[in-house]
Chains A and B, each alone.
Chain A
Amino acid sequence: MWLFHDAKYGFIDMRRKAYVVSASVLAAGMVAMVVNFATIGNWQNYGVDFTGGVLVQVAFDPPTDDTELRDALGGTQAPTITSFGGEGDYVIRAAVEEGVSIDVVAAGLSEQIAASYGEDRFEVVRTESVGAKIGEELQGRAALAIIFSLFLTLLYIAIRFEFRFGVASVIATTHDILIVLGLLALFRVEISLPTVAALLTIVGYSLNDTIVVFDRIRENLNARGGRREDPYKLVNRSINETLPRTVLTSGTTLGVLFSLLVLGGAVIRDFTMVLILGVLIGTYSSIFIASPALLEIQKRYGTGDVRDKQKAKARRAAAV
């Protein structure tokens, strides 16, 4: 079996359509972020890990319903209550006022539930209490981690390949992160620590995919006659040559992730969803964003060769 062998798709010819697709998804995401900011007061649906606060997951046996639980926790003043995974499981999210100790809040919630339901009707299966200070620190650290890893990979690729390859891969990866962030905002997926881990995995996966394509481009460029070949054709050929691997690897990874999504349970569902999105977008971007970006950079700034620089200069002079 050899799927997509000898494929000759015109990926590079489709790049403008891809730009439009990417731009619209990005725009939708930005709009969603602005809408979120206006309605829930934050760009994203940050979880307690980031904003600070208390999350309590309770399992009821026999099950209760939303309204009853809301009444038990103070009716209209009740904290946010969402049904979680299996029947009878609820997640309660409460803010913590300044100066109040976080463990007091969680204990208070379970006391309130016990007061209406009795001690034996429910079990607290999970609590997460995070002080606002820790949450703030975390936001900074997550952003720093992403910027740091982008910078280091740019450096690595610039050394191992050529500088423009590094820039193109950073463009593609930034594109992936922004698209995923936009979609997260659109669907108001809760941003927690595992979601950040998933985002960073996307950085890794997208780079991995891009590098395999770039590796082939590098190889074809360095082959005899490679530098004289039309760059568009060469890049397109490289993408097609790596297509069997791209499909098989993305396919198996997605297979594993889907089994996690279906069988892995409620706790990691969001996490897995973000990863699946990331694999799809990472694969798409290595073909439709990273490689075209490489060509666009080359068109504007040359390949970094002395001869290319002169050509580019001449072209700019002619354009003026």
Chain B
Amino acid sequence: MLKSFRVRLIVILAALGIAIGYYVTEGLKLGLDLQGGMHLVLEIDDPDGTLTPEAKASAIERAERIIRTRVDEFGVEEPLIQRSGSDRIIVELAGLDDESRAKEIINQQAFLEWKLVLPNTDVDQALERLDRAVVVALGAETLREMGRDTEAGEAGASSIEQLLFNTPSDSASAEDSVAASDPDAAADPATATPEEEATAEDESGDEMGEVNFRPFSGLLNTGEVGTYLVDAEDIDDATAFMALPEFQRALPRGVSLQWGWDSIPRAGRFYRELYVLEEDAFLTGDQLDDATANRDQQFNQPQVLFELNRRGGRDFQRLTAANIGNRIAIVLDGEVVSAPVVRDRIGARGTIDLGSADMSEATDLALVLRAGALPAPLSIMEERTVGPSLGADSIEQGQMAGIVGVIAVLVIMMVYYRMAGILAVAALAIYLMLVLGGLSALNATLTLPGIAGLILSIGMAVDANVLIFERIREELERRRAPRTAVDEGFGNALSAIVDANITTLITGLILFQFGTGPVRGFAVTLCIGIVASFFSALYVTRTLFLIYLTRKRGSDPISI
């Protein structure tokens, strides 16, 4: 008897020791709903379904690694970044000051390219073709509804604005004004040949009859060399036109049109630049070795200094040497950040001017460039944020409710079952420690529903004790000796406790399998709680009862 005691006590103390050890060393992580933070679910952007599952899997794996690097550099404590399914990433960040900034850092693709800026004439000669492509694709009726039915003969807005804006003194920076007055455009060999003009005329006659709209060229105002200016209000329509496959086919080979990222104020209106670029980038962010944020000496504006690797540096040097006097556009995620004129051969080091951006934007851009580009754009599928004050309120309320609830249960047990109730309370205290230790050991986070799950599993633990005590009382009523009654009571209650706990465990495990976020937290506490309650009711309470019984003679009545 005494020996089995010792074994039982050692088992219990060992379990308790391990639980407390985990709780003290690992600590209990609080969920975002309790401490505040941001939960993001990102998915690979693949609207056309062109990516194969393998391509998605490898892209998501790389994306996870890159996001981890970025978040680590951003400096968030204990971030949670994990893949979910084949094409999603879950990011959980606690205790953030600026959520939108963190989101930008995580979600920005940061695909950097260097492209040559081409003269406007490359597109000018194709404008008629482009207009026609838009008319063919959308139909005259749609364009009339959009209000894009300006005829070729009419005096378009552009010709007036051309006069207004196309003056060198009006240009943004000294650097650019050099570019604007550069006679490069005129000297460009790629001007329209008479043959091309002729075929364009023919097609227009055949297909469109009398309709002669200029839906696209009507939106363009002359800008600096290699750019057009588009009124901010026209950007959406222009973007829609440019996305048409017919439009893309009508563009001259090797030419692409891309937006500048800053808006440019002119005479009380806002414009965006549309750049004429060589389609293929001659250098991409892959070749970056390092990037740091800085302020430029002259204008005190934020900029990012970059350093290319050896191969990139060589390429860059060769290309800049061949393009002195031309502009090179730095394109980030499809938008032109800046397009300086090359004035000298540039080696491995260069700068990206950010114009009117904040310093923090420069810092963040340098950070994401260092970490590398995401292999594919990601879109945000789910976003949850909880402010720290709400989290603090919740945890205070949850704790208060928990403490009051537990005390209520303990009082009921002690009043109802007297000495046995006190034993049960002791077992429940051990149970609570085991659950907290178990949660710490599994690195589970305690969420608000988790607290609810915990409280519910306390109910289950109490239930097991109630089942046992009721059985003991029944046996005592049949005039069994106390010791026999206790043995029989535990024995008879066993099947009900086992079956009840296992069915609840089944539900808990299914919840864990199918649930996400808060539901999972609930499931984890419920499952750990059930396992702990099993141990506490059948082993701990039993042991405490045995100790209690040895302290009295066999015939003494027990307090239950």
Q: Which residues of A contact B (CB under 8 A)?
A: 1-2, 5, 57, 59, 101-103, 106-107, 123-131, 133-134, 138, 141-142, 144-145, 148-149, 152-153, 156-157, 160, 193-194, 196-197, 200-201, 203-205, 207-208, 211-212, 215-216, 218-219, 241-242, 244-245, 248-249, 251-253, 255-257, 259-260, 262-265, 267-268, 271-272, 275
- Measured CB to CB, the nearest residue on chain B to A106 is B383
Select the residue from A101, A106, A245, A271 with max chain B CB neighbours within 10 A.
A245
- What CA separation (Å) do A264 and B33 show in the bound complex? 13
Given contacts A103-B380, A256-B408, A260-B452, contact A212 B394 (CB under 8 A): no
- Is A265 within 8 A of B397, CB to CB? yes
- What CA separation (Å) do A87 and B324 show in the bound complex? 66
- Is A126 within 8 A of B385, CB to CB? yes
The residues of B that contact A244 with a CB separation of less than 8 Å are: 470
- Is B409 within 8 A of A208, CB to CB? no
- Is B500 within 8 A of A101, CB to CB? no
Given contacts A1-B416, A194-B449, A259-B408, contact A153 B507 (CB under 8 A): yes
Main secondary structure of the interface of B (DSSP, over half): helix
Binds A, one of B126-134, B158-166, B256-264, B509-517: B509-517
The 8 closest A-B pairs by CB, nearest first: A265-B397, A256-B405, A253-B459, A215-B496, A145-B514, A263-B401, A259-B405, A204-B507
12 A-B pairs (CB sep. < 8 Å): A59-B390, A102-B383, A103-B380, A126-B384, A207-B507, A245-B463, A249-B463, A252-B409, A252-B462, A256-B408, A263-B401, A264-B398
The residues of B that contact A129 with a CB separation of less than 8 Å are: 380, 382-384
The residues of A that contact B496 with a CB separation of less than 8 Å are: 211-212, 215-216
The residues of B that contact A212 with a CB separation of less than 8 Å are: 467, 496, 500
**Which residues of chain B from 298 to 354 have any CB-CB distance to chain A below 8 Å in the complex?**
none
Say how far A66's CB is from chain B's closest CB, in angstroms: 21
Say how far A75's CB is from chain B's closest CB, in angstroms: 24
Say how far B388's CB is from chain A's closest CB, in angstroms: 9
- Is B412 within 8 A of A272, CB to CB? no
Say yes or no: is B393 at the interface (Cβ < 8 Å to chain A): yes
Which residue from B383, B462, B514, B518 sits with its C-beta under 8 Å from A249? B462
Say yes or no: is B157 at the interface (Cβ < 8 Å to chain A): no
- What CA separation (Å) do A127 and B32 show in the bound complex? 12
- Measured CB to CB, the nearest residue on chain A to B494 is A215
Which residue from B384, B415, B503, B523 sits with its C-beta under 8 Å from A153? B503
Which residue from B100, B398, B466, B492 sits with its C-beta under 8 Å from A248? B466
- What CA separation (Å) do A83 and B474 show in the bound complex? 53
Say how far B534's CB is from chain A's closest CB, in angstroms: 13
The residues of A that contact B389 with a CB separation of less than 8 Å are: 59, 123, 125
- What CA separation (Å) do A123 and B393 show in the bound complex? 15
- Is A207 within 8 A of B510, CB to CB? no
Which residue from A134, A145, A253, A268 sits with its C-beta under 8 Å from B449? A268
**Which residues of chain B from 495 to 512 have any CB-CB distance to chain A below 8 Å in the complex?**
495-496, 499-500, 502-504, 506-508, 510-511
- Measured CB to CB, the nearest residue on chain A to B522 is A197
Say yes or no: is B41 at the interface (Cβ < 8 Å to chain A): yes
The residues of B that contact A130 with a CB separation of less than 8 Å are: 381-382
- Is B381 within 8 A of A131, CB to CB? yes
Q: Mark B514-539, 1 if CB is under 8 A from A, else 0.
A: 11111100110010000000000000
- Measured CB to CB, the nearest residue on chain A to B473 is A2
- What CA separation (Å) do A164 and B523 show in the bound complex? 29
- What CA separation (Å) do A260 and B519 show in the bound complex? 18
Interface residue tally on B, bucketed by range? 35 or more
Say how far B504's CB is from chain A's closest CB, in angstroms: 4
- Is B519 within 8 A of A156, CB to CB? no
- Measured CB to CB, the nearest residue on chain B to A55 is B384
Say how far A176's CB is from chain B's closest CB, in angstroms: 13
- Measured CB to CB, the nearest residue on chain B to A107 is B100
The residues of A that contact B466 with a CB separation of less than 8 Å are: 245, 248-249, 252
Given contacts A128-B384, A129-B383, A129-B384, contact A145 B500 (CB under 8 A): no
- Measured CB to CB, the nearest residue on chain A to B387 is A125
**Which residues of chain B from 439 to 453 have any CB-CB distance to chain A below 8 Å in the complex?**
448-449, 452-453
Say how far A89's CB is from chain B's closest CB, in angstroms: 9
- Is A267 within 8 A of B385, CB to CB? no
- Measured CB to CB, the nearest residue on chain A to B460 is A208
Say yes or no: is B386 at the interface (Cβ < 8 Å to chain A): yes
Say yes or no: is B103 at the interface (Cβ < 8 Å to chain A): yes
Given contacts A1-B415, A124-B387, A211-B500, contact A252 B408 (CB under 8 A): yes
Say yes or no: is B456 at the interface (Cβ < 8 Å to chain A): yes
- What CA separation (Å) do A128 and B384 show in the bound complex? 4
Say how far B63's CB is from chain A's closest CB, in angstroms: 18
Given contacts A259-B405, A264-B401, contact A193 B519 (CB under 8 A): yes
- Is B405 within 8 A of A260, CB to CB? yes
The residues of A that contact B473 with a CB separation of less than 8 Å are: 2, 5
- Is A256 within 8 A of B503, CB to CB? no
- Is A193 within 8 A of B516, CB to CB? yes
- Is A255 within 8 A of B408, CB to CB? yes
The residues of B that contact A160 with a CB separation of less than 8 Å are: 499
Say yes or no: is B455 at the interface (Cβ < 8 Å to chain A): yes
Say yes or no: is B10 at the interface (Cβ < 8 Å to chain A): no
- Measured CB to CB, the nearest residue on chain A to B467 is A245
The residues of A that contact B430 with a CB separation of less than 8 Å are: none
The residues of B that contact A203 with a CB separation of less than 8 Å are: 507
The residues of A that contact B456 with a CB separation of less than 8 Å are: 201, 205, 253, 256, 275
Which residue from B449, B459, B507, B523 sits with its C-beta under 8 Å from A256? B459
The residues of A that contact B434 with a CB separation of less than 8 Å are: none
Q: Mark B360-403, 1 if CB is under 8 A from A, else 0.
A: 00000000000000000001111111110110011001101110
Which residue from A156, A215, A256, A265 sits with its C-beta under 8 Å from B455? A256
Say yes or no: is B138 at the interface (Cβ < 8 Å to chain A): no
Say how far A280's CB is from chain B's closest CB, in angstroms: 14
Which residue from A149, A205, A242 sits with its C-beta under 8 Å from B506? A149
- Measured CB to CB, the nearest residue on chain B to A262 is B401
- Is B380 within 8 A of A101, CB to CB? yes
- Measured CB to CB, the nearest residue on chain B to A242 is B470
- What CA separation (Å) do A3 and B462 show in the bound complex? 17
Say how far B457's CB is from chain A's closest CB, in angstroms: 10
Say how far B306's CB is from chain A's closest CB, in angstroms: 29
The residues of B that contact A216 with a CB separation of less than 8 Å are: 496
The residues of A that contact B394 with a CB separation of less than 8 Å are: 265, 267
- What CA separation (Å) do A134 and B85 show in the bound complex? 12
- Is B503 within 8 A of A208, CB to CB? yes
- What CA separation (Å) do A144 and B515 show in the bound complex? 11
- Is B503 within 8 A of A207, CB to CB? yes
- Is B380 within 8 A of A102, CB to CB? yes
- Is B514 within 8 A of A272, CB to CB? no
Give 16 new A-B contacts, CB below 8 A, not counting A134-B41, A241-B474, A262-B401: A1-B415, A5-B473, A101-B379, A102-B382, A103-B103, A103-B380, A129-B384, A156-B499, A193-B519, A194-B448, A197-B515, A197-B519, A203-B507, A208-B463, A245-B467, A256-B406
Select the residue from B404, B456, B507 with max chain A CB neighbours within 10 A.
B507
The residues of A that contact B495 with a CB separation of less than 8 Å are: 215, 218-219
